[in-house]
Amino acid sequence: MNAMDDVEEKTGRDLDVDVIDVEEVTLVRPTATRGELVASDGRPLPTKLSDHERNSLYLRYLVLPFVFLTVTLLGGLRIDSLDGAFIFNRPALVCLIFAAILLVLFARSGVMKLDGWFAESFPPLKNVANGFVILTLFAAATQIFNSLLPELGLPFWIVAFCFFWTLWNNLFADFDVRKLFRSLGGLFGLAFVAKYLVLANLTAPAGRTWFEALTENPGQEAITRLLDLPRYSGSTGYIQFFAVALFLLGLYLVPPSTRDN
Amino acid sequence: MKEKYIQILVIAMTLVYGVFVIFLYAAEPRSLEEISSKVVETVQNAATKGQVITGTYEIDQAKFNEGLMAFRQNNFIVARDSFAKADPERRDARTQFYISYSFYRQGWGRVTNDDALFKQALESLERVNFIDKNFRSDDQDLQLRTPAELKNELEEGLRVTADDFNPLKVFRERK
């Protein structure tokens, strides 16, 4: 029994159909035109970026490097208290070491996933661009430590030791992003207060004669000389506050991965 | 904008901004006004270094002539300043020889020589030998035309001998 007999039996009518052309419905997929990217099954991939993707690209590749390079510029800038001249303070070697440890901490805690920033599956240009972003982050971290560490003498070694102790402990601690940011915020905040509030207030003003220094405020003068405190203008603290805030903002904006969803 | 253009932009921006930051920390301008003059100075230095690398380095002939004129007028400080500006990379044997000679003439004394200037002359002379071992000056006004002759004169001047106490020494002439 063929298909027509079956239908006649069910309906009770003679069907006067000579030929029935039965065709299977096939799913027609859009085909790629020349120059379009195609997926493994031949479908063209979307080449235009959505607004969300574009914004995240601008943030990752334009805003972040700009923020971190600005921090790099400002982190070592001091203002002379005598004539208001710029002083560009180059970072000590220990700042580079601290910055390297900080990047390791970022990788460990998941602030930045290494395989989300560098991968063989990425185009070379993307890997290079990501490398540049990380480089700016490293430079900014170096300059933040340069900003927060006292320049000379005993205060430098005390604060540097505290930084080292905290970072070293963090390296072996069980971490997540929130805990790391809390720890860094506390560390940077305390160091900022120590340098730009406590030590800055203990520093005697510049441009006084020996006699004036000894008669007006001998304690301040003695502490300044004993601790090798540099005499910077008050505006240095404002600039460094801005630099630290900008760095923390930049860290907040760093995506854990640059892989496309 | 396509992703790859944004990525190219980040590389370019990082390089430009990064170079600017490095420049600031290297040049250390003390005010905003000083930045432009430091930029000009850095660009000139970079251009000169580029000339040295590419083998097209030449001294500033006008500055050299100014120095030579001052040298002949016995204005040795001005002469050395002009010679130094004419040959900032210190790669021209003739200019360096004149610098050395100017130290010799300035330090020469009828009774005593200035040892500090003579020592500086010897240092400059070492550079001449380093640049061109066979250097010979064609200046007819100079009595000591080779680095060897000038070096001998300088070393004689620095050495203390019995001859130094000869009163007739005051009649000798500067070379």
| Cα–Cα distance, A182 to A185 (Å, whole number) | 5
The 10s digit of each residue's pLDDT in B12-59 is 999 999 999 999 999 888 888 888 888 888 888 888 888 888 888 888
Mean pLDDT in residue range A217-222: 77
Where b means 16+ CB within 10 Å and e means fewer, A36-50 reads eeeeeeeeeeeeebe
Highest mean pLDDT among A3-7, A208-212, B156-160: B156-160
| Residue A7, pLDDT above cutoff 90 | no
| Cα–Cα distance, A4 to B5 (Å, whole number) | 64
Residue B63, CA distances (Å) to A32, B85, B88, B90 in order = 69, 7, 11, 14
| A57: chain B residues, CB-CB within 8 Å | 3, 6
What is the amino acid identity at position B86? A
SS3 A86: strand
State the pLDDT at residue A59.
87
Q: Which residues on neighbouring strands pair with residue A232, listed in sequence order?
A: A80
For A232, phi then psi, to 5°, come to -105, 160
Partner-chain contact B29 A49, CB within 8 Å: no
- Output the six-digit token pair for A1: 């029994």
Q: What is the pTM of this model?
A: 0.68
Q: Which one of A61, A76, A87 has the shortest CB-CB distance to B7? A: A61
- Give the chain B residue nearest A77 (alpha carbons): B25
Banded model confidence at residue A1, pLDDT cuts 50, 70, 90:
very low
Residue A164, CA distances (Å) to A149, A157, A169, A182 in order = 11, 10, 8, 17
Banded model confidence at residue B65, pLDDT cuts 50, 70, 90:
very high
Best residue of B11, B14, B15, B30 to probe chain A, by most A CBs closer than 10 Å: B14
At residue A58's C-alpha, the angle toward residues A53 and A62, to 5°, is 155
Banded model confidence at residue B164, pLDDT cuts 50, 70, 90:
confident
What was the ipTM of the complex prediction?
0.72
Q: How far out from the chain centre does Cα A87 lie? A: 26
Helices (H), chain A: 3-11, 51-58, 64-75, 93-109, 114-117, 124-148, 153-172, 177-193, 200-202, 210-216, 218-226, 235-253
A64: number of CA atoms within 13 Å, CB side? 27
Q: Are strands A77-79 and A86-88 parallel, antiparallel or unpaired?
A: antiparallel
Identify residues of B whose CB sits under 8 angstroms from chain A CBs.
1-4, 6-11, 13-14, 17-18, 20-21, 24-25, 28-31
Q: How many CB atoms lie within 10 A of CB B7?
A: 22
With tokens 């009774």, the residue in question is: B111
Q: Which residues on neighbouring strands pair with residue A88, listed in sequence order?
A: A77
Banded model confidence at residue A248, pLDDT cuts 50, 70, 90:
very high
Inter-chain contacts counted by CB atoms under 8 A, chains A and B: 66
SS3 A148: helix
| A62: chain B residues, CB-CB within 8 Å | 6, 9-10, 13
| Residue A60, pLDDT above cutoff 80 | yes
| Cα–Cα distance, B99 to B123 (Å, whole number) | 10
| Cα–Cα distance, A74 to B24 (Å, whole number) | 11
| Cα–Cα distance, A202 to A153 (Å, whole number) | 15
